[in-house]
A and B are shown apart, each in its own frame.
Chain A
Amino acid sequence: MINMIKAELYRMTKTKGFYLFWGVMLISYLITIIYKQEGGISLGAPIVTDNSLKMDVRMVSWNFTYYYLFIIPVFTTVCSEFSNHTYKNTISSAISRKTYYFSKYFFILVYTLLSFSLLNFAFYAANRLVNGSEYSSSLGRFAKSVAVQLPVMAAIISLFIFIAFAVKKGAVFNSVTIISPILYTTLGLVLYGIKDTKAFAEKMLTCEISTIIMRVAKETSGSFTAKCMAGSALVIILSALFGYVIFTKREID
C-alpha cells in the first residue's frame, strides 16, 4: 500500500491539477490577507458577519471553496485511471482489487485532509504574522473551527471517491459533483417558495453543504455540530462500503 501511495504522489506532481489545487488556495489566502477581508465560494449560505469572531475564523467558514478543489485529486487519482485504461496495468500485475480500492481511498483521504489542514494553518500563521492579533484569533479557537470541519470534508471526499468509482467517466464525475450542490440549493429555494413545502425546504437548506461548513466553523459545538459529525461519519462509512462493493463486484471495462 505504501508503494501505491508513493506512486500516486509521484504522478500527481506531474499533473496540472496538482498545481491548480495549491495555486488557487494560496492565491485566495493571499488576497484575504492583503485585503483583510474574507471571501470564497458559497451557495446562498447565511454569511457569518459576527464581529465577535476575528477575520481568520470567518475565513474558515468560507472553506466551501475546498469542495470544488477536492474534485481535482479525486479526478486525477481515480477517473484518469479509468479513462486511460491504466487500471488494468496495476490490477493485472500484483495488486488485488481490494488493495487497489483501499490504497486509492486512503491516499486521497489523507492527502486532501492533510493539505486542508496545512493550508488552513499556514493561512493562520501568515495572517497572524502580517495582520497581527487584530485580525487573528487564538490558535485554539482557530484550531477548533478547522478540526470541526475535518469530518465534513472527509465525508465530502469519501462521497466523491464513491461517485468516481461508480461512474468512472471523468466527464460524468465532473458534472455530478459540480452541479449537485447547485441543484440542491435551487431545489431548496424553489420548494421554499411553495407554501406547502416551506418547512421542509427550510430543513433542507440547513442541511445544505456550504451552510454546514459555515455553521460548524462558527459554532464548533452544540447539537447542530454534533448532528453534522454523526452524519459525516455515516456518509463516510456508507460511501466507502458501497464504493468497495461496486468496484470489486462489477466487470471493469
Chain B
Amino acid sequence: MNEIILSTKQLTKQYGSFTALNEADFSVCRGDICGLIGRNGAGKTTLMKLVTGLTEPTSGSYQLFGKDSTNSFLKRRIGCLIENPAFFGSMTAFQNLKFYCLQKGITDMKKIDEVLELVSLTDARNKKFKTFSLGMKQRLGIAFAMLDDPDIVILDEPINGLDPIGIAELRDTFRTLNRERGMTFIISSHILSELYAVADHFVFIEKGRLIKSVTKQELDLECSRCIVVKCGDVKHASTVIDSLGITNYKVIDKSELRIYEEGVSAKELNKQLVTNGVEVEGLTESGVSLEDYFKQLVSENN
C-alpha cells in the first residue's frame, strides 16, 4: 500500500540513568499527517532528535525511506523544527534563510520568499530576528523546515505561541502541502484538540513509551459520544425515535440502537421510549472527549 517512510525498532535513549525513550516501535506511512501526543517530558522531543540525527540512540534502530544508513542525500529529505526555533538575532528573516540556502546549496533565492509566504511572514522579511514575537519565531522555524523541499517535515510543538487564526492558517497550509506535494508530516503537541483537526493518524507517548497508535477513524469511533439503547423491539423503538425527530442514529442489531445525534438527553429519550411502549432493557451513555480519552490512556498505562 503506502510506502513506510519512517520506522523505528526498539529505539531507546538513556541520559545517564534516566530513560527518555524506551523501546519505541513507531512507523509513519508516506502521505500521513501523524500527530505525536504526550505530556511535557514524555519523550516526544527525544524521539524527534533521534530520527533527525541530533543525538545517537543508546540502542535500537530506525529506518528512513527504507534505508538504515543516513547519508546526506536521505537527510536532506527531512525538514525539521525541534525545540525552540534558533536563528541569528542580528540578521533579518531573509538573511537567516539565505544563510541556510547557501549552506544547503539551494541555488534559487526565490525559494526564500516562497517559503516566507507559506507561513505568512512576508511582511517580516527584512526585520531582525531579535525583534520577532514568539509566534513569528515559530513560523520562521516552520519556514526553515520547508526550505529544502523536504519529503518529511518533523515539527516539535509548532503550535506553541500561535494565536487561533495563526493556528488555523497553519493547519490549512499543512493540509495543502500534504495534498499537493505529498509531504508527510510528523507533528507533536500536548494539546490533542489542536492536532485532532490536522492529523489523520495519532500516536500517544507517555514516560518514554509509545502507548497507543490509532487512525482518526478509530479515534472517532472510540471517542464518539452516543446513547446505546438495548431493547426487544428495535423496529418499534426506531419508529419512536423517528417521531422524536432524531435522524442521526444507527440500528446495530436486533437488540441495539445507537444514537449519535447531539443534544439528545438520555433521560428524555428513556421516558419517551417507555411511554410509547418500548421495552427498554438498558440505556447508557458512552463515548469520551478527546482530552478524557488521553487521560484514560495515561492512567491505564500507569
C-alpha spacing A88/B145, complex, angstroms: 12
Binds B, one of A8-16, A43-51, A138-146, A231-239: A8-16
Give 1 or 0 for each of B46-89: 1 = CB within 8 Å of chain A CB.
00000011110000000000000000100110111011101111
C-alpha spacing A52/B224, complex, angstroms: 96
Q: Which residue of B lies closest to A86 (CB)?
A: B86
Binds A, one of B28-36, B94-102, B172-180, B263-271: B94-102
B103 interface neighbour in A4, A14, A16, A252, Cβ under 8 Å: A4
Interface centre among B80, B84, B88 (most CB of A within 10 A): B88
Q: Could you say which residues of chain B place their CB within 8 Å of the CB of A93?
A: 75-76, 78-80, 104, 148
Q: Could you say which residues of chain A place their CB within 8 Å of the CB of B89?
A: 84
Whether the pair A86, B103 counts as a contact (CB closer than 8 A) is: no
A residues near B (Cβ < 8 Å) are 3-4, 6-7, 10-11, 14-16, 80, 84-86, 88-96, 251-252
Known: A3-B105, A92-B54. 15 other contacts (CB 8 A): A3-B103, A6-B102, A7-B100, A7-B102, A11-B99, A14-B91, A16-B90, A84-B89, A88-B54, A92-B82, A93-B75, A93-B78, A94-B72, A94-B76, A251-B55
B residues near A (Cβ < 8 Å) are 15, 52-55, 72, 75-76, 78-80, 82-84, 86-91, 95, 98-100, 102-105, 144, 148
Q: Which residue of A lies closest to B98 (CB)?
A: A10
B99 interface neighbour in A10, A16, A96, A251, Cβ under 8 Å: A10
Q: Could you say which residues of chain B place their CB within 8 Å of the CB of A88?
A: 54, 82-83, 86
- A234 CB to nearest B CB, Å: 31
- 8 smallest CB-CB distances across A and B, nearest first, come from A7-B102, A85-B86, A7-B103, A92-B52, A86-B86, A94-B76, A94-B72, A3-B105
Whether the pair B88, A92 counts as a contact (CB closer than 8 A) is: no
Q: Could you say which residues of chain B place their CB within 8 Å of the CB of A89?
A: 86-87, 100, 144
A92 interface neighbour in B78, B98, B103, Cβ under 8 Å: B78
Q: Which residue of B lies closest to A11 (CB)?
A: B99
C-alpha spacing A97/B148, complex, angstroms: 19
A3 and B87 contact, Cβ closer than 8 Å, known pairs A92-B82, A94-B75: no
C-alpha spacing A54/B98, complex, angstroms: 47
- B78 CB to nearest A CB, Å: 7
- B91 CB to nearest A CB, Å: 5
C-alpha spacing A93/B152, complex, angstroms: 11
C-alpha spacing A246/B86, complex, angstroms: 23
A-B contact list, 17 entries, CB within 8 Å:
A3-B103, A6-B102, A7-B100, A10-B98, A10-B102, A11-B99, A84-B87, A89-B86, A89-B144, A91-B53, A92-B75, A92-B78, A92-B82, A93-B148, A94-B72, A95-B103, A252-B54
Q: Could you say which residues of chain A place their CB within 8 Å of the CB of B104?
A: 3, 93-94
- B160 CB to nearest A CB, Å: 16
Q: Which residue of A lies closest to B141 (CB)?
A: A89
Q: Which residue of A lies closest to B87 (CB)?
A: A86
- A89 CB to nearest B CB, Å: 6
Q: Could you say which residues of chain A place their CB within 8 Å of the CB of B55?
A: 251
Whether the pair B72, A96 counts as a contact (CB closer than 8 A) is: yes
A11 and B86 contact, Cβ closer than 8 Å, known pairs A3-B103, A3-B104: no
Whether the pair B54, A90 counts as a contact (CB closer than 8 A) is: no
C-alpha spacing A90/B103, complex, angstroms: 8
Q: Could you say which residues of chain B place their CB within 8 Å of the CB of A6?
A: 102-103
Q: Which residue of B lies closest to A16 (CB)?
A: B90
B90 interface neighbour in A14, A91, A96, Cβ under 8 Å: A14
- A168 CB to nearest B CB, Å: 14
- A84 CB to nearest B CB, Å: 5
C-alpha spacing A94/B105, complex, angstroms: 10
Q: Which residue of A lies closest to B150 (CB)?
A: A93
- B147 CB to nearest A CB, Å: 9
Q: Which residue of B lies closest to A6 (CB)?
A: B102
C-alpha spacing A32/B173, complex, angstroms: 61
Q: Could you say which residues of chain A place their CB within 8 Å of the CB of B99?
A: 7, 10-11
